[in-house]
Amino acid sequence: MKHQILVPEVVAESGLNLLQEHGLQIKQTSSIRKEDLIADLKDCDGVIMRVARLDADVLSANPQLKVIGKHGVGVDSIDLDYCRTHGIVVVNTPHANSLSVAEHAITLMLACAKQINYKSACYRSEDYGVKDRMLGNEVTGKVLGLIGFGNIGSRVASIATGGFGMSVVAYDPFLPQGKREDGVLVVHDIREVYEQADFISIHTPATKETIKSVGAQQFAWMKPTAYLINTSRGAVVDEQALIQALQEGQLAGAGLDVSDSEPARGDNPLHSMDNVIMTPHCAGATYDSMDHMSKDVARGLIEVFNGQKPTWPVVWPEQ
C-alpha cells in the first residue's frame, strides 16, 4: 500500500514530483483550519506543512500519522512533545531558505537606513521635497548586532562584513565567546549587543526562553539612533513594548517581516508609523528557496518511509 502525504498549503512542484517518483501519493487540499486538517489527515500517514498548526487535537485525532515534514525551519507550530511521546517523526529544512531570509534581513536594514518606505510614499504623493527633509544613513562602518548566530545569522554577518564593511557583534549562548576568524565578536552578555549596535537583527526561534525576550529593557539599552530588524518569529519581540519604544523615540525605527499575530491587523499602530517597514512573513519565500524547501522536505519524508534516519531530524526515535 502506498503512503499518502497531505499537502494543505502551496509548495513547489519539484518536491511533489520527487515524492511521486519515489512511489508516494499526494493529497492536495487548500485549508489549514483545525477541523479541516483533522478530517483531511484521516487517510494520510505523512504531511507537509508550512504555517499550519499541528497541535495535540489534530495529532491525537490521527494516530496513524507517522511523519511531519516542516517546509521551513521553525517548528513552534507543531506540538513536539506530543510527537516525541507518540513516535511521530518530524523533519524540517534548516538550510533551504537561510540565504533568502538573510538577504531579506539585509534588505530591511538598508531600507530602514535609507528611509525607503517613507520617501517612496512621499514621492508617490508628489512630495519631492522629502529628499532634503529626510536624510538617510550609510551602513558601511556601522555596528550590526545579531541575536542568534545560526545558519541565518551567520549568513547575515557574512553579507554585512563582506559587502558593507560592518562590524558584527553577536550573542549566542551556544557558541564560545571571543573574536572569530570571520571577524565576528561573539559575546555572552546580551546587553553588550544592544548597547553597541546601530542595527539589531533577531535570528532566534520562538521557545519558552525566547518568547518576548526582546522588550522594554532591551529597547532601553539600544541607541536612540538604532533600528530593530526581525525576520525570525513575531513572538520573540514584545510588540506592545516595541510600539511604545518607537512612539517615545527610544529607537529610530524597525524592519519587521513577522508580527505577534499574523497577519497583523489593519489597526496595528505599526502599520501607520513612518519609520516602520512591515512585510508579510515572506523573508523565506523566494522562487529559489521555495524550490529548495520543497525538495528538501520531500527528501526527508522519503528517507523516513525508506527506514533511513532523516538528514534533518527534529524529532526522531533515537533522541
The domains of the chain, with CATH numbers, are: 4-96+287-315 (3.40.50.720), 98-278 (3.40.50.720)
Average the pLDDT over 206-221 and give the result. Answer: 95
Instruction: Give the model's pLDDT for residue 114.
Output: 96
Positions marked catalytic: 233, 262, 281
* Residue 8 to residues 74, 181, 305, Cα–Cα distance (Å): 18, 44, 20
Give residue-wise pLDDT tens across range 3-13.
Answer: 999 999 999 99
Instruction: Give the model's pLDDT for residue 318.
Output: 67
Q: How far apart are CA 239 and CA 224, in angstroms?
A: 18
Instruction: Give the model's pLDDT for residue 74.
Output: 86
pLDDT surpasses 80 at 248: yes
Instruction: Give the model's pLDDT for residue 132.
Output: 87
Average the pLDDT over 186-195 and give the result. Answer: 97
Q: Are 77 and 53 in contact, with CB atoms under 8 Å apart?
A: yes
Q: Which residues of 273-290 are buried (b: 16+ CB within 10 A; e: fewer)?
A: bebbbbeebebbbbeebb
- Average pLDDT, rounded, for the chain: 95
Average the pLDDT over 91-106 and give the result. Answer: 96
In this prediction, residue 271 has a pLDDT band, given cuts at 50, 70 and 90, of very high
CB atoms near residue 263 (< 10 Å) = 10
Give residue-wise pLDDT tens across range 28-58.
Answer: 999 999 999 999 999 999 999 998 999 999 9
Instruction: Give the model's pLDDT for residue 128.
Output: 92
